[in-house]
């Protein structure tokens, strides 16, 4: 929402958004590769799931490729369905009635280079952009680092673009 206002006020295009998500198991990875979709439990979803792309963080169960991001895919469509609808073969699962976001994906793409987690971090979801995804070599480089002054200035520009503000150094 605010990205649209920023684009209108500056004339600059907003960055292409990427959501990095954990692939919890090898079975889930096979489903992504073969069927082209990813699931996020609605109860555990980040507040903002909308993105143009989904990138995949591989945890410890991926052996030599663990703790890295190596692939991404365009998100084509979102739907909200029960786990039973997603995985009919698991209809007796205790969470079969729970709601999940189903993200329909485009073709799987390989990053130009893997993004490695050099420090052990608990990753669930990371919001980033496509430029950062392509340039990062370490997971920590995916987070946008803005100073409080930059964040305040952007908020003031959006709320009242015609006003002039005097920012003095401290």
Q: Tell me the pLDDT tens digit for each residue of 38-77.
A: 999 999 999 889 999 999 999 999 999 999 999 999 999 9
Distance of alpha carbon 5 from alpha carbon 88, whole angstroms:
42
In a domain, 164, yes or no: no
pTM above 0.85, yes or no: no
In a domain, 133, yes or no: yes
In a domain, 161, yes or no: no
Confidence of residue 140 (pLDDT cuts 50, 70, 90): confident
In a domain, 72, yes or no: yes
Count of domains for the chain:
1
In a domain, 114, yes or no: yes
**The predicted structure's pLDDT at residue 129:** 93
In a domain, 158, yes or no: no
In a domain, 152, yes or no: no
Confidence of residue 158 (pLDDT cuts 50, 70, 90): low
Distance of alpha carbon 39 from alpha carbon 85, whole angstroms:
11
DSSP codes, 94-119: TTTTSEEEEEEE---EEEEEEEE-SS
CATH of the domain at 66: 2.30.130
Burial code (b: 16+ CB inside 10 Å, e: under 16) for 53-80 equals bbbbbbbeebeeeebbbbbbbebeeeee
Domain boundaries, position 107: 2-145
In a domain, 122, yes or no: yes
Summarised one tens digit per residue, pLDDT across range 76-130 is 999 999 999 999 999 999 999 999 999 999 999 999 999 999 876 677 899 999 9
Q: Are 30 and 66 in contact (CB under 8 A)?
A: no
């Amino acid at each position: 929402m605010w990205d649209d206002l920023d684009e209108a006020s500056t004339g600059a295009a907003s960055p292409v958004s990427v959501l990095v998500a954990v692939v919890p198991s090898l079975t889930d990875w096979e489903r992504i590769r073969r069927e082209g979709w990813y699931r996020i439990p609605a109860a555990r979803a980040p507040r903002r799931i909308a993105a143009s792309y989904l990138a995949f963080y591989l945890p410890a169960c991926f052996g030599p490729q663990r703790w890295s991001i190596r692939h991404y895919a365009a998100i084509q469509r979102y739907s909200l369905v029960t786990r039973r609808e997603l995985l009919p073969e698991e209809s007796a699962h205790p969470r079969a009635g729970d709601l999940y976001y189903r993200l329909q994906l485009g073709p799987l793409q390989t990053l130009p280079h893997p993004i490695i987690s050099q420090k052990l971090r608990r990753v669930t979801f990371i919001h980033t952009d496509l430029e950062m995804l392509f340039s990062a070599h370490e997971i920590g480089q995916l987070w946008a680092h803005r100073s409080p002054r930059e964040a305040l200035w952007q908020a003031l520009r959006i709320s009242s673009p015609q006003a002039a503000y005097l920012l003095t150094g401290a």
